[in-house]
Structure 1
Amino acid sequence: MSSNVVTLEAFTALPDHARLLGLDLGTKTIGLALSDVERQIATPLETIKRVKFTQDAAALLQIAAKHGVVGLVVGLPLNMDGTEGPRVQSTRAFVRHLVPLTPLPILFWDERMSTLAVTRTLLDADASRAKRAAVVDKMAAAYILQGALDRLARIESAAAEDADPDQP
């Protein structure tokens, strides 16, 4: 792909006190979620209605700039058995076209079950069908981003323990 499509470990070198943006790329919408500056909590942000790539990318990058984002976490919709289908191919194509437009590091994150988990949560909360439709994409983006944030925290915690073995 490109040098700014990176592994999670590369995200440990990002500047402190800066946000990450999570993306749930759908065919009709792009759900967005934003981390806090400590990169602990992902919050649903908004949903971009897809028009065409140029406009979608411009809207996405404008939002990233507005919030001081230092990295993008893009949900990768793998099949349940881990194989890549047409949705993965379209997600990779979107990122391949986005790469020349931004220096931001981009991380693919396995998003299997994210929409299902969010939909189940919304059903449990007795949200109406219209309400679910309005929020499911940005909530799925938050679910994706939270997974990456949690894993990042575990990596950083393990690195801190390795650096200082005397810590309790």
Structure 2
Amino acid sequence: MTAYVVLLRAVNVGGTGKLPMAQLRAMCEDAGFQQVRTYIASGNVVMRSTASERQVKAALESRLADYAGKPVGVVVRAAAEMAQVLAADPFPDAARNRVVAIFLDRAPPADTLSMVRHRKDEEIVLGAREIYVHYGDGMADSKLVIAAAKAGTARNMNTVAKLVEMAAQI
């Protein structure tokens, strides 16, 4: 049985995509996932399953679409891969709340960095299936646009570390 971290896109952020975490846990349990735990109200789940990453994604996307009446983005990582994302953080000395990993379903396109717009002091590094961004002055005033990140979902390193810890405990 594999421990997974599941990240939902645009859930309970900015007043859109309201989904109570109790409802999300129930959806996961209904799909047959075990030891389901959520973390903060922005669509973070750790759980165990015998299903593949692709099967976990498909099962949740289907249930979420039924619930929301529209597609909801789902990104799935095995707990071991999520731990690698944390370990590979290219900005280990930066404030954890100013570094995000943008999680994608596949490797970022080769032209990702050349397509970035409105970059100020942000530092960007491509990962395996992630884009790491260090917002030197914080995200509040950033106008950074990363086209490849549109289909992804971002979590700061504090959240990534907590999800890695939670996944290790189930």
Using CA pairs under 8 Å that are at least 6 residues apart, name the structure with larger relative contact order, 1 or 2. Answer: 1
TM-score past 0.5 threshold: no
| TM-score, normalised with respect to structure 2 | 0.29
